[in-house]
Structure formats: structure tokens, C-alpha cells
Amino acid sequence: MVETSYYLILAAIIFSIGATGVLLRRNALIIFMCIEMMLNSVNLTLIALARQWGSLEGQIFVFMIMAVAAAEVAVGLAILIANVRHRQSINIDEINLLRW
């Protein structure tokens, strides 16, 4: 059995890579993917701790997070498409209006 801490370290590294990607990239789609990656690393943490404590509640949490992530992707991509239709750009430096 692999120690839980190894999983936590792996999840921490993936989370940091995702956060760095959000800071570095200007492409809204790639920022989106980085956010998905960060959500997934948190899922890994929750499942590892669910095994650590012998309880299923962590896994129920992950199930809920997956549903919220699916909803977030649907709405977020729709916002991106609406923005592209309006401004012909997905560079987040140029996305600075709440209304049009």
C-alpha cells in the first residue's frame, strides 16, 4: 500500500502546475484547462484521504465536485463562445467588459 502522503504530494505538485499555468498563459481556453486540472488534483487529495480514514464521505465529495465541474465547463465555454462572437479574441487581456 502506497503511503497517503505520496498522493498528497503528487496532488500538490499538479495543483501548483495548474495555478502557475493560470498565471502564465493568456489564452482563456488554456486557463480553463488549468482550472480543470486543479479541480482534479483536489479530487485526488480527497480520495486519498478517504482511504486514509476509511470513510466514503471523501468519495461522495468528489462525486459532487465532478458534477459542479461539468456545470462549470458548460457555462464557462458558453461565455467564451459568446465573447468570441463579440470580440473575435480569447486573449484574456482583451476580455475586460462585463456588458456589451
Partner 1 sequence: MSWSLLFFLLVGAVSLAAAFGVVTSRQPVHSALFLLTNFATLAVLYITLDAQFLAAAQVIVYAGGIVILILFVIMLIGGETNDFSAAQRAWSRTVGIALGVILLLVISYSTLSRMMTPSEETAALLQGGSPKAVGIELFSKYVLPFELIALLLLVALIGALVLGRQQEGAGEGIPSVKANE
Nearer to partner 1, 90 or 96 (CB): 90
The greatest distance separating any two alpha carbons of the chain, rounded to the nearest whole angstrom, comes to 56
Q: Least Å distance between CB 38 and partner 1?
A: 10
CB 44 within 8 A of CB 7: yes
CA distances (Å), 86 to each of 3, 17, 46, 93, in order? 50, 31, 40, 15
Q: Least Å distance between CB 67 and partner 1?
A: 4
- Determine the Cα–Cα distance for residues 1 and 54; give it in Å rounded to an integer: 14
Q: Least Å distance between CB 29 and partner 1?
A: 5
